[in-house]
Structure 1
Amino acid sequence: MTESEKMHDESLYDPSDAEISAQQLTYLDKLYDYNQTRPTEKAKRTALLKALFADIGEGCYLEPPFHANFGGHHVHFGERVYANFNLTLVDDTHIYVGSRTMFGPNVTIATAGHPILPELRARGLQYNAPVHIGENCWLGAGVIVLPGITIGDRVVIGAGSVVTHDLPSDVVAYGNPCKVARPVNEHDRAFYFKDHRIEPNMFN
């Protein structure tokens, strides 16, 4: 098995492998081009994202600067995904994000990890585990999602949370480590923020 193949099955591998490094530099050059675009160059940004990502649906918007270890080459986005400034995707293996999910500023999604045993770490070895995030989620500012995590649909994760375990669908969760606080409920159908009511016509 090649080092490139080991990247995607949670094996220990050498990320400095010549083949991996050469591919990575190609993707990072394209990512550099994306981060140098002007706000008015919307068509250019869209074209670059389609060239960078493994899959990206219609209507996605990523506010530069956007950071990714492999330029998004192992990232799969649905439609209308929004990311604020400084989204960081450690995409050494695959990251899957469902449609209409939103990322606040400074969110990090990591797939890469390093052995705890110092002798292995000294050799520069690494392992990767994919991350799955469902549809219509909202990850607040500064959220960190660790390797191998699965997050369900319609999940809200509070700002600054560190997600160390899987989260089910339809919950509000926050904290370090991130824990489920409550389900999305009827109160959320009446109020969108503190005592601010949702107007009935918003459901039309």
Structure 2
Amino acid sequence: MGVSKQQAIENKRAIVEAAEKLFRERGVAAVGLAELTKAAGFTQGGFYNHFKSKDALVAAVLEKAMEDGAALLVAGVNAAKGDTSTPMQRYIAWYLSADHRANIETGCPLTAYAGDIRRLGKEARQAYARGLTWNFDQLANLIDGENPQEKRKKAITLFSQMVGALMLSRAVLEVDSALADEILKDGCQELLGTIRPDAKRSQRTKKRSTR
């Protein structure tokens, strides 16, 4: 008896979700097909009914991850509406938070796959580049100003610093949690000061008043 079209879609989704979890936890190269198919509940033969190769699966995982990351950003922006802080301030504070640092499974995919991406296939790299470009464009829309080029330039700079701080904090968390927290806290304060100079001056004033 054949598998229905809907069941085939669900089977493919199950493989992608199992793969994404393993890829995020351990890196793409460290996960083999045997482990992948076992985690998804399929045989290797069943896997090839849905994907022609591991590279094709990786590309599908990246496509899904970028879509999920886009939804995450949109949800964060919408949640900031009506708040006293701006959407960009809320996004930075969330991105450089201990909660996001711990959320490797469903956090920002642009950080999660940054270490792997250059070694992946062309389709996966293209999906990552599209996701990164979309992210820059959305963040540029959150930045005050009238010059689109300057706004995009600032968005690229801000996001690059956010990704770098998060990656470094995760890298040292298990061996030096104090340093990991320092990276997040100072990185967040500096970036918030970049988009809100008054906040930065206020932090400095508080520090001077406590000396």
The TM-score, its normalising length taken from structure 1, stands at 0.27
Larger radius of gyration: 2
Q: Which has the higher contact order (CA 8 A, sep 6+)?
A: 2
- Greater helix percent: which structure? 2
Question: Which structure has the highest strand share of the two?
Answer: 1
TM-score by length of 2: 0.27
